[in-house]
Structure 1
Amino acid sequence: MDVLIHAFVGLHIIGIAALLGGFMTQMKAMGKGEARMVPAMLHGALTMLVTGVALVGLNQADGNTVNTVKIGVKLALLIVILGLVYVKRDDEKVPAAVFGTVGALTTANIFVAVLWT
């Protein structure tokens, strides 16, 4: 079971890398007001959602305790991120405030995962 959990953690990290990487590639365009939600951001957020839910289930099935408050905060952040990316995915130009919010919430999600013990 540990190998499966670690595999899903790896996939979860790949999802966040896609989301944050997509954001980083558009930062220069954000400065010009031409940023857009790239497909990698949507796919990364969806990957994070699916693998996160799987990780909670696998950890509970393995008898590990899960911090439900932490998971709830991470899920809430991810739902807002996913909503913003999904709604704005077809727009040619996304307002800098909306785009910056996605980056800030993604970074906050990373820090919640790493620092909240």
Structure 2
Amino acid sequence: MSVLISVFVGLHIIGIAALLGGFLGQMKAMGTGTARFTPGMLHGALTMLVTGMALVGFREMDGGSLNHVKIGVKLAVLFVVLALVYVKRDDERVDKGVFGAVGGLTVANIFIALLWH
């Protein structure tokens, strides 16, 4: 089970990297008002959702304890990110505030995972 969990943690990190990397790659365009959500950002958010849910299930099956409030907060933040990216995915330009919110919420989700025990 630990190998399976490790594989899904790796896939979860790849999803985060795709979402955050897409944001960081568009930061210069955000300054000029031409930023847009790339398909990789949507796929990264979806990967985070699927692998995160699987990791919760694996932890439950393994008998480990979970902080359900933390998982709920992380899921809510991810749903907001996913909704913003999904709705605006075909727009040629995304408003700076919306684009910045996706990056900020992604970083917040990372720190929630790391710092909330």
What TM-score comes out, normalization by structure 1 length? Answer: 0.99
Q: Distance between the aligned counterparts of 2:40 and 2:105, measured in 1?
A: 16
Give CA-to-partner distance per residue, 1:10-61, whole Å, 9 cap, x none. 1000000000000001000000000000011000000000000000000000
Count, aligned residues: 117
Give the match for residue 30 of structure 2: 30
Structure 2 unaligned segments of length 5 or more: list them.
none
Paired position in structure 2 for 1:53: 53
Which sections of structure 1, spanning at least 5 residues, go unmatched? none
Q: Which amino acid aligns with 2:23?
A: F
Matched residue SS, 1:63:
coil
Q: Secondary structure at the match of 2:78?
A: helix
1:64 equivalent to 2:59? Answer: no
Q: Which amino acid aligns with 1:78?
A: L
RMSD value over aligned CA atoms?
0.4
Percent identical among aligned pairs is: 72
The runs of at least 4 consecutive aligned structure 1 residues that moved more than 2 Å come to none
Per the alignment, in what secondary structure is the counterpart of residue 29 of structure 1? helix
For residues 86-112 of structure 1, the C-alpha deviation after alignment (integer angstroms, 9 at most, x for no partner) is 000000000000000000000000000
Offset of residue 78 of structure 1: 0.1
In structure 2, what is the equivalent of residue 39 of structure 1?
39
TM-score of the superposition, structure 2-length normalised?
A: 0.99
